[in-house]
Structure 1
């Protein structure tokens, strides 16, 4: 679809403070927007430096025909500012892109987003990918969570993988930093609910509201917009608003938390899940060493030998069940140890050391790495007594073998490290990875291993209310327990 064929867009940039970010945003728009088709509406919400910001904005845009500038009579808050700009000031009938002033849109972003919007009449909202946008972040999971994710890294990785991804992915909500709305949605359903004023959660409410009427929100996987984030509210106000508005969302849409969990567990493309492994940003091979349910002396000895043989450029994390964490810490002092589950970290290679006998272990293996090595998997004994006693482990083994990179018997730690290096140097087979991700995810959900609840507990709602009133207490508790925000 050419620009002449697609619907035009009004880009609304709500302005409050953060002049440096706003300057970068306007400069990027000047470079990336075709003003013969689209226009920009800059809506100044009378922040603490309103006159300084106004003077600089007018200097930047000059007499450019593609920009319109407006200043509210008083501060309306983010929600009120967006509603006024879209519902009162913009009379074009265009589709609308709400673009945060702390973003840097990259060339081609708008053409790609509008193409996605035009691809299906049931799509109501589209958002871009970003370096800082919760579930729209790219990459979402990291090989090294301790490393800073730079905009340059996101740009390079996105360039490497964007054409391996589907053009778009349906998600429960779209992120408000870059929020393209079909005009029909605004005409039928309005825009943001003032209950979410001054901000946080309003875009989620909008997406869930239109979804109840049969319209979807999607991520445009090939559009990239960099985003600073968290510049609107200082002190305790931001955390308090987030928690209070999350409570309102969960009261209105009790399935919301389950929908996000389902999206992360099943609906993302496998390339998206493991994006950070497609182009490593260091010379280290990162390994998830999965231990079986039965920590025999032989398993412990093999794990110790692997840890001892790993040089500094092969970083091994031991993955165990929650019930094994204390025993693992005693057995492997000083080693990195993680609990089975779906952490925000991925690895280059996952090694199953011994037979995995539960679907939980299989799901954790699936979530950890794009490449698998199986060491001493289930023995295929022809005796029926053995087959009956081990039928569940054998079924899991058959699934593993369908997607493994190599199956081997234990020889030594040095041999296993050599196999890990070879596997890590092997190009990821995208189609095989995608088939594995979907197959194991479907099994986990069909068997009830992964349950995404359609209700919210009174306990969680109460905790959110408490947190909204006492954000510093919540922050201290998270710091003590090691839980992220």
Structure 2
């Protein structure tokens, strides 16, 4: 048996500013989880308000540890300037660079896995770990209970349940800056962060998109795990100003970025990732989404019967197009009602009340749950108000029938609540789920239900510009509109 060649060495760059408890936890995890025979850690103190206290505490924690080096800036450079100085000037090793936020806690083997994924292809340029708090790299990303926290313990349990089911890596539009491994050759060729994004926000996305223009991918390493507290460096008013203003620069500088984000969620991300919280539920509750055909007004009576038949002990959410949400809330008092276009929750089971014969309904169902239950009923609630099927509907129903997990009209009749309870506990076939996802996305793309814009709309760019100037007013408007 031939042994594998040793992996490339990594310099872990940790910018330090003012979060002393976070720094303490981060350094303790690095002492535990870094292989100092291969890698080193560079700490850069950016002369923040706690610079002296941080320096004293760093000295206590790492002392003369040979794997660490420490630098203190004579003046504050801001996050972008601090990172650029560390990567381009202070680190002279020629190692690949792992930029790691000081509010992170690492896990065993994280660098090995990140480095291994980087080495899998010469096209892999930037690699990031999975985390509890890392936007598209968060796991679980979408929650069964949107009001509950995505805690480190929850993420650890979910990761343990689904990591083996996921591909080793996923190509993403950008990598996440909290844990950001970059191939050294790219830094030598392209430099590092653009000072346009100083003091911070968006700089890591800009680097990914810039090197991506020449074919270097951003990658999620699905088996690497690093916990992340979240942004602590900017004031509550400055942070949204920077975030929205810099996002406007990104969508104008890289017009394809908007479509790339949409394609990630539709095509590039594994559906097991989408429904990770259903694969590893945090509680014993059964959460169900009720939907209906979108070709005409919902059949309120049929939905009411389905709600009554679900029975006690099941948490139901009625999911309808936005134009029908007000009517649904009037009819189903005490029941959660949400808009199809904006819901971000996932459910143990999606119940479709009516014949499944239109692409928009199938797309909504596909996005809500890995398990489908269809209640057709003799009243044919999927027909239009004139009683005619939508054109081509029967063919779509035939294609989708393979992916219906249960229906009260099939086999021995059982109450809907009994079927739901059994289905919510049934194991999920990951390969069948992937096949269903591909079929539905293909149908929606062919029908023009899914389209990918060539650039951000004027409306979105104007909204970003407005939000960057008046973030609090923009946030109030967003909440008033329910977005």
TM-score interval w.r.t. the shorter chain?
over 0.9
**1:287-321: CA deviations, max 9, x gaps?**
11112246789x43332233234444211111222
Shift of 1:478: 2.5
How far apart, in 2, do the equivalents of 1:431 and 1:359 lie? 22
2:374 aligned counterpart, secondary structure? strand
Structure 2 matches for 1:38-77, cutoff 5 A? 38-77=39-78
Distance 1:81 1:283 in 2: 47
Matched position secondary structure for 2:147: coil
1:111 aligned onto 2:112: yes
Q: Bigger shift: 26-35 or 255-264?
A: 255-264
Provide the C-alpha distance between the structure 1 equivalents of 2:297 and 2:77, rounded to a whole number of angstroms: 64
The reply to whether residue 24 of structure 1 matches residue 25 of structure 2 is yes
Structure 1 residue 378, shift from structure 2 partner: 10
Query: Structure 1 CA distance, aligned partners of 2:295 and 2:441?
Result: 24
Matched position secondary structure for 2:465: helix
Tell me which residue corresponds to 1:398: 398
1:186 maps to 187
Measure the CA separation in 1 of the matches of 2:460 and 2:372: 37
Q: Distance in 1 between matches of 2:110 and 2:377?
A: 47
Q: Output one character per residue of 1:413-442: Cα deviation in whole Å (capped at 9) or x when no partner.
A: 981111111111100011101111122112
CA contact (8 A) 1:401 1:407 kept: no
Normalising by structure 2, we get a TM-score of: 0.94
Does the CA contact (< 8 Å) of 1:293 and 1:357 recur in 2?
no
Which residue in 1 is equivalent to 2:246? 245
Match of 1:425 in 2: 425
For residues 69-108 of structure 1, what are the structure 2 equivalents within 5 Å? 69-108=70-109
User: Structure 2 unaligned runs (5+)?
Assistant: 381-387
Q: What does residue 280 of structure 2 align with? A: 279
Alpha-carbon distance between aligned partners in 1 of 2:297 and 2:461, rounded to the nearest angstrom? 43
Structure 1 residue 365: Cα displacement: 0.4
For 1:162, the equivalent position in structure 2 comes to: 163
Note closer, same or farther for the CA distance 1:407–1:469 as it changes in structure 2 (3 Å cut): same
Query: Which segment drifts farther, 400-409 or 44-53?
Result: 400-409
Whether the 8 Å contact between 2:347 and 2:369 is mirrored in structure 1 is yes
| Per-residue deviation, 1:187 | 0.7
- Aligned CA-pair RMSD: 2.3
Instruction: Supply the distance in 2 between the matched residues of 1:439 and 1:276 (Cα, whole angstroms).
Output: 22
- Structure 1: how far apart are the matches of 2:286 and 2:131? 26
Are 2:19 and 2:103, in contact at CA under 8 Å, matched by a contact in 1?
Answer: yes
Is 1:355–1:378's contact at 8 Å kept on the other side of the alignment? no
Question: Does residue 135 of the first structure (1) align with residue 132 of the second (2)?
Answer: no
Compare 397-406 and 72-81 and name the one that shifted more: 397-406
Q: Quick check: 1:341 aligned with 2:359?
A: no
Aligned length: 475
Residue 391 of structure 1: how far off its partner (Å): 5.3
Contact map agreement 2:166 2:222 (CA 8 A) in 1: yes
Shift of 1:24: 0.3
Q: Is 1:445 aligned with 2:451?
A: no
1:6 paired with 2:3, answer no
C-alpha change, 1:266 and 1:128, in structure 2 (3 Å) is same
How far apart, CA to CA, are the structure 2 residues paired with 1:255 and 1:130?
26
Matches of 1:289 and 1:366, distance apart in 2 = 13
- Given that 1:165 and 1:271 are in contact with CA atoms closer than 8 Å, whether structure 2 keeps it comes out as yes
Which deviations, in whole Å up to 9, do the C-alpha atoms of 1:93-137 show, x marking residues without a partner?
000000000000111111111010000000000000110011111
TM alignment of 1:327-476, pairs within 5 A: 327-341=327-341, 343-376=343-376, 392-409=392-409, 415-476=415-476
CA-CA distance at 1:456 after TM superposition: 2.0
Cα offset for 1:43? 0.6
- Aligned ranges for residues 204-215 of structure 1 at < 5 Å? 204-215=205-216
The correspondence of residues 172-183 of structure 1 with structure 2, limited to 5 A, is 172-183=173-184
- Which moved further from structure 2: 88-97 or 263-272? 263-272
User: How far apart are 1:400 and its partner, in Å?
Assistant: 2.2
1:353–1:459 distance in 2 versus 1, CA, 3 Å: closer
Q: Normalising by structure 1, report the TM-score.
A: 0.93
C-alpha contact (below 8 Å) 1:362/1:396 kept by paired residues = no
- The CA distance in 2 between the partners of 1:312 and 1:366, in whole Å, is 25
Unaligned 5+ residue runs, structure 1? 381-387
Q: Secondary structure at the match of 1:251?
A: helix
